[in-house]
């Protein structure tokens, strides 16, 4: 992010309400103004409160407020001397003992953050062949936050499936036979025929249920004679014999 675009540090007011309002307006415009507001608020109005409290009031994270405040406290009196540098140049050099020299070189050469860091490594005699490239915010470009190689995923039941979608399918797939069966829920009346609430509030909830006066009669089992069974088996074998053609047997 570049320096102020529309809001200047000199416009920052001194009351707590004005500091908060100015910081809220500058969140998307100037890290320098946010840092100045945070520094002044911490000095004059914090009274035991922290960067996290100020962050909540203006809509940033505590880390973002801490970064902007520290950069302002360190470079707030000189950053206007480096008109060609971004706020990220100063953030990267926050802990450097030779920050003034590096910032001056970056200003004269209009360099990026990565170029400034490489120049600093060269003057300190470090190996420049080692790839430590960073973006404008100082984050390493070579860091991969998503794995680049496919690996096997082990499920809780011990099965392994390839994450590449091979014969094992997706790692999270399971067949219907692997899924435990659950009893379906049944809707129940909340009131009985006598108007009492459903158990455990109905009458006689703890008593033994009464036996029904009517008894269900199961149909009698049909008896199959040996002759009938033999006829059924013979008919089935005939059907199978017709299906087993020479072409099918081949």
pTM: 0.49
Q: What are the start-end ranges of the H helices in the chain?
A: 16-26, 31-44, 51-58, 62-75, 87-92, 99-109, 113-123, 226-243, 246-249
Q: What is the pLDDT of residue 146?
A: 41
CA-based R_g, the chain, Å: 40
Q: Classify residue 58 by its DSSP letter.
A: H
More confident residue, 168 or 87: 87
Here the contacts of 162-170 (C-beta below 8 Å, separation 24 or greater) are none
Q: What is the pLDDT of residue 243?
A: 75
pLDDT at 85 over 80: yes
The alpha carbon of residue 76 and the mean position of all alpha carbons in its chain are separated, in whole angstroms, by 36
Convert the pLDDT of each residue in 189-237 to its tens digit.
555 445 554 455 555 555 555 555 555 556 566 677 788 888 888 888 8
More confident residue, 217 or 9: 217
Count of other CB atoms within 10 angstroms of residue 87: 24
Domain boundaries, the chain: 1-81, 84-143
Convert the pLDDT of each residue in 139-162 to its tens digit.
454 444 344 444 444 555 545 444
Tokens of 133: 């490239």
- Mean pLDDT in the chain? 73
Q: Do 86 and 113 meet the contact criterion of CB atoms below 8 Å apart?
A: yes
Convert the pLDDT of each residue in 178-192 to its tens digit.
545 554 454 555 554
Tokens of 1: 């992010």
Tokens of 181: 């069966």
> How deeply is 17 buried, as exposed, middle or buried, from its count of CB atoms within 10 A (0-12, 13-18, 19+)?
exposed
């Amino acid at each position: 992010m570049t320096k102020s675009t529309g809001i200047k540090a000199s416009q920052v007011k001194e009351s707590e309400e004005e500091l908060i309002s100015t910081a809220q307006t500058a969140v998307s415009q100037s890290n320098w103004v946010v840092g100045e507001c945070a520094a002044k608020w911490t000095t004059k109005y914090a009274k035991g409160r922290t960067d996290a409290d100020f962050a909540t009031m203006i809509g940033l994270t505590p880390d973002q407020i801490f970064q902007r405040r520290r950069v302002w406290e360190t470079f707030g009196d000189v950053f206007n001397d480096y008109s060609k540098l971004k706020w990220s140049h100063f953030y990267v050099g926050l802990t450097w003992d030779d920050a003034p020299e590096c910032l001056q070189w970056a200003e004269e050469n209009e360099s990026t953050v990565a170029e400034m860091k490489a120049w600093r490594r060269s003057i300190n005699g470090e190996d420049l062949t080692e790839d430590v490239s960073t973006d404008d915010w100082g984050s390493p470009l070579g860091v991969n936050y998503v794995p680049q190689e496919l690996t096997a995923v082990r499920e809780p039941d011990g099965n392994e499936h390839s994450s590449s979608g091979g014969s094992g399918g997706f790692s999270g797939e399971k067949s219907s036979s692997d899924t435990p069966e659950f009893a379906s829920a049944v809707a129940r009346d909340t009131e009985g025929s006598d108007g009492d609430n459903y158990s455990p509030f109905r009458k006689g909830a703890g008593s033994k249920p009464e036996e029904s006066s009517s008894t269900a009669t199961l149909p009698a089992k049909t008896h199959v004679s040996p002759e009938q069974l033999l006829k059924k088996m013979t008919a089935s074998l005939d059907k199978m014999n017709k299906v087993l053609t020479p072409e099918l047997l081949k």
